[in-house]
Structure 1
Amino acid sequence: MFQQVTYSDDRMKGYELLIKQLHALSEDEKDQIALLANAASLLNQFLDEVNWVGFYLWKDEELVLGPFQGLPACVRIPYGRGVCGTAIKEKKTQLVPDVHAFPGHIACDAASNSEIVVPMIINGEIYGVLDIDSPIKERFDETDQLYLEKFVDALSQYL
């Protein structure tokens, strides 16, 4: 049913297909947890060389673990701490080629070496973040950032 995104000339087409499949999975669903769970699963199936894909949701001035695919994770992340907390503080995507060089990185999984975190801002309010980790250094690039931001924008229409 789903095609995996590979690192070839078809990456952008793969991401466009990913976003179309997100719409198909989401268009008739109203439950936010179900939407986020399917989105995490969809990304986990599409992206190669990732070891954690999920969401942290903004609750009571901190990020709280939401639906994800991967090993158990940190449950709460304070505002401004780690890659996820920084993405919320700065309200911009954090593309981190080497998490060990990121000041204040929170190591939930010692196998993670790179990370991308896309903030989710809906109607001007913090909703949470999409967080993706990889055991490969420099796994994510500007193409991933562009299309993961589009993915989050598409998902936000349903939340």
Structure 2
Amino acid sequence: MTFENLKEEVKVIVSDANTSVDKKLTSICELLQTNVAYYDWVGFYFKNGDKPELKLRSFAGEPTDHTIIPFGKGICGQVAVSNSNFVVPDVKAQDNYIACSIFVKAEIVIPLFVNGENIGQIDIDSHTADPFTKEDEEFLEFVNKEVALLLEQGS
């Protein structure tokens, strides 16, 4: 499925008035993990209240022990501080990387903004070396904009 087709599917999930926010987030994770061959783990982390940490809310893929990530730690924690996309073609080359699986070779993390505030992020792990392109970044930015609308509506 192309990114254009996936965008339409994401819009359908977000607009479903009969589904909870958490179920919609999980459905988006499952959609991406199932339809993009090199998206082996997809998750949404969000700021954990007033604490300087992220908490895993929804994911698709193997379960992870990393349900809480302090700001600044790992790729996700760095994005929580930098407010910038972070594409890691080779996780072994990163000093501040938290290994979630021995199979992960690359990671992309895109911050999620609501009303200008970085409230979370989408995190993708790949078992493929250097798979992410500018198209992945743009597509995941689109996904996060849709999720931001969903969160702003609260439904």
With the length of structure 1 as denominator, give the TM-score of the two structures.
0.87
Residues 44 and 50 of structure 1 are in contact (CA less than 8 Å); yes or no, is this contact kept in structure 2?
Answer: yes
Partner of 1:113: 105
Partner of 1:67: 58
What are the equivalent positions in structure 2 for 1:119-158 lying under 5 Å apart? 119-158=111-150
Gaps of 5+ in 1: 5-13
Partner of 1:49: 38
Deviation (angstroms), 1:41: 0.8
1:23 partnered with 2:15: no
Partner AA of 1:48 in structure 2: A
The CA distance in 2 between the partners of 1:63 and 1:41, in whole Å, is 21
What are the equivalent positions in structure 2 for 1:1-12 lying under 5 Å apart? 4=1
Residues 93 and 118 of structure 1 are in contact (CA less than 8 Å); yes or no, is this contact kept in structure 2?
Answer: yes
1:98-147 deviation per Cα after TM superposition (whole angstroms, max 9, x unaligned): 01111210001111000000111111223211000111110111111111
Gaps of 5+ in 2: none
The CA distance in 1 between the partners of 2:147 and 2:95, in whole Å, is 30
More divergent stretch after superposition (48-57 vs 27-36): 27-36
The CA distance in 2 between the partners of 1:97 and 1:42, in whole Å, is 23
Deviation (angstroms), 1:154: 1.8
Partner AA of 1:85 in structure 2: G
Residues 19 and 154 of structure 1 are in contact (CA less than 8 Å); yes or no, is this contact kept in structure 2?
Answer: no
RMSD: 1.3
The CA distance in 1 between the partners of 2:123 and 2:27, in whole Å, is 15
The CA distance in 1 between the partners of 2:7 and 2:39, in whole Å, is 18
Aligned identity (percent) is 33
1:81 partnered with 2:73: yes
The CA distance in 1 between the partners of 2:44 and 2:34, in whole Å, is 16
The CA distance in 1 between the partners of 2:14 and 2:115, in whole Å, is 19
